Structure 1
Amino acid sequence: MENNKNIIPEKSGSKYDLLLKIEDIIKKEYSNTEGIVISKDGEMIYEKYFGESNENQKTHIASVTKSILSILIGIAIDKGFMEDENQKVMDFFKEYDFIDKNEIRDKITIKDLLTMTVPYTFEEYMEPLEDFTRSEDWIRYALESIDGNGEKGKFKYSTMSAHLLSAILTKASGMSAKEFANKYLFKPMDMEEINHNDTKEFSFDTLFGEKIEGWANDPMGISAGGFGLKLSTRDMAKIGELYLNNGEYKGKRIVSEEWIDKTLKENQNGYGYMWYLIYNAPIRMYCALGDGGNMICVIPDLNTVIAMTSSFMMNAKDRIGFVAEYILPALSN
């Protein structure tokens, strides 16, 4: 059964007619979509759910979790739990006494983790996630995977970097990322708090698939840094609005404008502090992206936020292309 909820019934004109047509496009070409919300000028102009989904359903947002974690790191710095993003990572993990001399590991900073510029031993896009998540100590595995002979500063996408950030947040604040988010992000933004979650079995389904509840954690109770969080499509749209409004939500300061500016600063990698900076689109946009087609897309010049949630699907069709081809013409018309 489908939830038919289009928030444009009384309006007319080519812009709104074009938006209505995206429903058919989604069904034909993006069939694993669960929900989509579009807001413009602070007003929700389109909301649609597919299959059994609805506005209250939470979906595993995959790597969009990384972008949420980036916000939490910014809040932690704002509130004095951490000095700044230039702190050395190993300052937080002094209990790990590594035998090998790895000067690169000792030089890695929080900023290197945020910008995905840590040299690891694996090849680009060949991160051994299965071995990582099956290990008893995800932190040790990640730290041991830093290449002592590597080139610090070169982009290499890594979920392990995000998990180290989650562990650092816990070390600094005394709270898990889930607890910290509930207190300083979700509750202040009128989002439902994440219930207690205690992941004990680390199979694909409990970490990435249908069995995820709340926010998955590692064997030591650290919230998974790069995946494992479930949010609703409306929640995702709220996060987009937070960034569109430079860190404020309904007049409340959630994260500093300085952190937003740093997160979205242009660079050669097209990747800010765990947000993608899209340079090859017709108009400036930045996005939080997760496997399967989960997305928060912010388009400042159009004062627009687009949020999409999707069930897991191998080789899902690119949502940035969907935005550029179908939504931008509707909004710009």
Structure 2
Amino acid sequence: MSVIRAASMAQQSRVTPGIEDMKSYLESQVADVSHREVIGPALPGSGASGVIVHGGERVASWGDPGVPEMAFSATKSVVSTVAGLAFDGGLLPDVHQPVRDTLDMPELTGPRAGTITWHHLLQQTSQWDGELWGKPAWADAGSLGPGSAPPDAPPGGGWAYNDVRVNLLCLALTRLFARPLPSVLREGVLGPMGASGTWSWHGYRGATTRIGGEEVPVVSGGAHWGGGLWISADDLALLGLLYLRDGEHHGRRLLSREWIDRTWSPCDHNPDYGYLWWLNDRRRVFPAAPPTGRCARGNGGRHLLWVDPERDLVIVSRWGEDAGGLLHEVSAAIS
């Protein structure tokens, strides 16, 4: 365990620079200069923190793992968890069904958008080309990637990492549940697991949808323009343990094994990706880490939830550079 402690201390020293001024930091992440305005709340970073859990026991921690931090695109994997709650609850029985068959959404009208399925949205293969809350899909900094397709490709025709399209999924899930997604997550997962009361989930300015005559807030699935999930390393580790334990917590099933299997099934257009989770099977996400790992990853790995069922291992790292080095050292020590 001395190797693990040393690795954790090294990670604490590799703090991401510039996180004290989060608005400027966020603006620097968006490539398109015409759409850099931050329209969601921003939380200054407090420094590197994290926790390592092996065999259900905490074996190391660094920084202050109880302090919430912006999760950036690690939020996407939590959106997948919420979708799983809809699936398990019968609200989403067929992921291959077009979303508009279930919901009346103006954003999904037309012959092309109308064929977008839940499966497309969850795998980031929707090819949706609209705009939400002033941010068009084409302006997202992460819109290109392996398996990408021309802009006019049909839904399911290619993979593209895109915050705006995940926000469309957040909007659809909010309408499906007919309530804010944070309440769904709290009731279905984080509450039963005993998470702290410090986490929160935010959307953009003006991001609401009208349900039953009331304006209901819609959260974002990332933080390219602010918002997203704000959560501590300790609470994020609970989510990792839920996936590690096949969706059970102290004998109570919170998420189905079937949904986890679907979540960790590779996308045809990008085998390194499942339902908003990264898969390291080909060792392309983190080359130095084992292929058995799956992860929720944000801001280039500076926010990481790593789950390795083969090693009974969960690693959470926040605002630390070289997460791949951390994964390699800890995994090698446990093998």
With the shorter chain as reference, the TM-score category is 0.7 to 0.9
Write the distance in 1 (CA, Å) between the matches of 2:261 and 2:159: 20
Paired residues of 2:8 and 2:60 also in contact (CA < 8 A):
no
Q: Which residue of 2 aligns with 1:201?
A: none
- 2:184 — aligned with what? 180
The 3-state SS of whatever aligns with 2:262 is helix
Contact 1:286–1:297 (Cα < 8 Å) also in 2: yes
Unaligned 5+ runs, structure 2? 18-46, 144-148, 209-216, 284-288
Q: Helix, strand or coil: the match of 1:240?
A: helix
- Return the offset for 1:115: 0.5
The whole-number CA distance in structure 1 between the counterparts of 2:315 and 2:237 is 7
Are 1:121 and 1:147, in contact at CA under 8 Å, matched by a contact in 2?
A: no
37, 49, 55: which one aligns with 1:35? 49
- Cα pair distance change 1:148/1:89, threshold 3 Å: farther
Find out whether 1:22 has 2:22 as its counterpart.
no
- Secondary structure in 1 matching 2:276: coil
Partner of 1:106: 114
Separation in structure 1 between the aligned mates of residue 221 and residue 107 of structure 2, nearest angstrom: 23
For 1:168, the aligned partner's letter is A
Paired position in structure 2 for 1:217: 203
Distance (Å, rounded) in 1 between the aligned partners of 2:176 and 2:128: 24
Aligned-residue RMSD, C-alpha? 2.9
Q: Per-residue displacement from partner, 1:14-39 (whole Å, max 9, x unpaired)?
A: xx121122245324544565211111
Do structure 1's residue 168 and structure 2's residue 172 form an aligned pair?
yes
- What is the match of residue 152 of structure 1? 155
Contact map agreement 1:263 1:273 (CA 8 A) in 2 = yes
Q: Tell whether 2:311 aligns with 1:302.
A: yes
Q: CA deviation at 1:107?
A: 1.0
* Alpha-carbon distance in structure 2 between the residues aligned to 1:45 and 1:76: 34
- Which stretch of the first structure deviates more once superposed, 220-229 or 251-260? 220-229
**Contact 2:127/2:154 (<8 A) preserved:** yes
Secondary structure at 1:238 match in 2: helix
1:1-333 equivalences in 2 (<5 Å):
16-31=1-16, 34-49=48-63, 54-91=64-101, 94-96=104-106, 102-120=110-128, 134=134, 149-153=152-156, 154-193=158-197, 214-218=200-204, 219=206, 220=208, 221-227=217-223, 228-268=228-268, 269=270, 270-278=272-280, 279-280=282-283, 281-291=289-299, 293-310=302-319, 317-324=321-328, 326-332=329-335
Task: Indicate how the Cα distance of structure 1 residues 187 and 28 shifts in structure 2: closer, same or farther if over 3 A, else same.
Answer: closer
Greater Cα offset, 228-237 or 214-223: 214-223
| 1:286 to partner: Cα distance | 0.5
3-state DSSP class of the match of 2:201? Answer: coil
Superposition deviation, residue 92 in structure 1: 5.0
Distance in 2 of aligned mates of 1:95 and 1:275: 26
Please say if residues 67 and 275 of structure 1, whose CA atoms lie closer than 8 Å, have aligned partners that are also in contact: yes
| Count of aligned positions | 274
Do 2:12 and 2:62's aligned partners in 1 also have CA atoms closer than 8 Å?
no
SS, match of residue 229 in structure 1: strand
2:309 maps to amino acid: P
How far apart are 1:185 and its partner, in Å? 1.5
Please state how far the C-alpha of 1:178 moved relative to its aligned partner: 1.0
- The verdict on how the C-alpha distance between 1:97 and 1:17 changes in structure 2, with shifts beyond 3 A counting, is closer
In structure 2, relative to structure 1, the CA distance for the partners of 1:46 and 1:97 (3 Å cut) is closer
1:87-131 deviation digits (Å, cap 9, x = unpaired): 212335535288xx8432111101101001122559xxxxxxxx8
Give the residue type in structure 1 aligned to 2:55.
D
One-letter identity of the residue aligned with 2:122:
L
Aligned to 1:126: none
Question: Cα 1:191–1:81, aligned 2, differ >3 Å: closer, same or farther?
Answer: same
1:277 CA displacement: 0.3
The alpha carbon displacement at 1:320 in A equals: 3.0
**Shift of residue 147, structure 1, vs aligned partner:** 8.2
Q: Is the partner of 1:103 in helix, strand or coil?
A: coil
Deviates more, 1:246-255 or 1:16-25: 16-25
Deviation, structure 1 residue 148: 7.8
Q: Secondary structure of the residue that 1:149 maps to in structure 2?
A: coil
Task: Please give the TM-score of this superposition, normalised by the length of structure 2.
Answer: 0.73
**Secondary structure of 2:265's match?**
coil
The 8 Å contact of residues 116 and 155 in structure 1, kept in 2 or not, is answered as yes
In structure 2, the partner of 1:4 is none
CA distance in 1, matches of 2:90, 2:327: 38
Return the offset for 1:194. Answer: 6.4
Match of 1:202 in 2: none
Secondary structure of the corresponding residue to residue 298 of structure 1: strand
Letter of the 1:287 counterpart: C
